[in-house]
Amino acid sequence: MDKRPALPRVIGHRGAMSYAPENTLAGFREAARRGVTWIEFDTRLSADGVAVIIHDARLERTTSGRGPVAGTCFGKIAGLDAGAWFAPEFAGERVPRLDEAVRLAGELGLGVNIELKPNRQHQRELASAVLEVLAEGWPRHLPPALLSSFDRKVLAALRKLGSPWPSGLLVKSLPRNWHRQVAVFGCSCVNAAHDRLSRADAQAVKSRGFVLGAYTLDDPARARELFGWGVDAVFSNAPDVVMAGLNGI
């Protein structure tokens, strides 16, 4: 195992989605303003193969558009509003491209966990597009990005394409064969749903030397408990609240 990500205790989930529209540049700025040092965001491909920052497979929930992201060309996505749904003061926010998100992270000094969300059968295309953007525009002063996915074919594609980036296996519950999976995909990190993670799971992952993340929580007491189990990092929608409640641990 190599390429371990240098995660902080608290990572801003989709930016800082309690305070600003998720997966937008405004959200990333808000996370930095609140003292966050790493953010997580989601990326998927538009119909014409542009890596864009959006969580859902469809446009409706977080933009003014309709239809599947994978069925919409970037030219159309670029004209959508991705902020007004959250609050009027964010009207005019756009769906960022991955290269724009990475450039801003560099300007803000934010470490980045990029979660790759493929459409069916486009795992290799997504992995390839992400690697290409990072190869061209990664801000070298940042720690290496962590690339993570629930999709095993994406993780396999990253490995096959020779990704130089740390990779993370995303799971809800820790599968019984997690250790075989991380070995096959060359992952150095496991990120699991905090409410399905047990102390024994955490100890199993940590005792084998893997980095362990837990998503998504806003309660500092729960974060302290997880850190006591050996969890390295938690993902939070209100990362400043969690950080403030850690008392320096």
- By CB under 5 A, name the binding residues for Mg ion: 42, 115
**Exposed, middle or buried by CB within 10 Å (0-12, 13-18, 19+), for 103?**
middle
Residue closer to ligand G3P (CB basis): 13 or 122: 13
CB of 209 vs ligand G3P, minimal distance in Å:
21
Interface residue with ligand G3P, options 115, 151, 218, 232 (CB under 6 A): 115
Interface residue with ligand G3P, options 30, 42, 93, 232 (CB under 6 A): 42
Contact call for residue 40 and ligand G3P (CB under 6 A):
yes
38's contact among Mg ion, ligand G3P, none, with CB below 5 to 8 A by partner kind, is none
Longest dimension (CA), the chain: 48
22's contact among Mg ion, ligand G3P, none, with CB below 5 to 8 A by partner kind, is none
Of 84-113, binders to ligand G3P (CB under 6 A) are none
CB of 239 vs ligand G3P, minimal distance in Å:
13
d(CA 133, CA 129): 6
Percentages (nearest 5) of helix, strand, coil residues in the chain: 35, 20, 45
Catalytic residue ranges: 13, 55
d(CA 101, CA 48): 19
Residue closer to ligand G3P (CB basis): 79 or 194: 194
Interface residue with ligand G3P, options 191, 197, 236, 242 (CB under 6 A): 191
* Pair of tokens at residue 154: 């994406």
Cβ atoms of 30 and 18 closer than 8 Å: no
Residue closer to ligand G3P (CB basis): 131 or 170: 170
173: Cβ contacts below 8 Å, ≥ 6 apart: 192, 193, 196, 197
Rg (CA), the chain: 17
Applying CB under 6 A, the residues found at the interface with ligand G3P are 13, 40, 42, 55, 115, 148, 170, 191, 215-216, 235
